[in-house]
Amino acid sequence: MIKKQFRLLADASYTKNRLDNRKIEKLVHLLNRKDIKSYIQALKNKERNMTVTVTLPHTPKKSEKMLFKSMYPDKKIIYNIDPSLIVGLKVIDNDLVYEENLKEALETIANFASHNL
For other proteins, the binding residues (CB under 8 A) are 3, 94-100, 104-106, 108-109, 115-116
- Helical H segments across the chain, by residue range: 3-12, 21-28, 33-50, 62-71, 102-116
CB of residue 34 vs other proteins: minimum separation in angstroms? Answer: 17
Between residues 32 and 116, which has the closer beta carbon with respect to other proteins? 116
Angle at 12 between CA 69 and CA 32, to 5 degrees: 130
> Of 25, 75, 70, 20, nearest to 51 (Cα)?
75
Pairing verdict, β 18-19 and 14-15: antiparallel
Between residues 12 and 109, which has the closer beta carbon with respect to other proteins? 109
C-alpha separations of 95 from 50, 60, 61, 83 in Å: 11, 23, 26, 23
CB of residue 85 vs other proteins: minimum separation in angstroms? Answer: 13
CB of residue 90 vs other proteins: minimum separation in angstroms? Answer: 10
Between residues 21 and 99, which has the closer beta carbon with respect to other proteins? 99
CB of residue 26 vs other proteins: minimum separation in angstroms? Answer: 26
Between residues 11 and 99, which has the closer beta carbon with respect to other proteins? 99
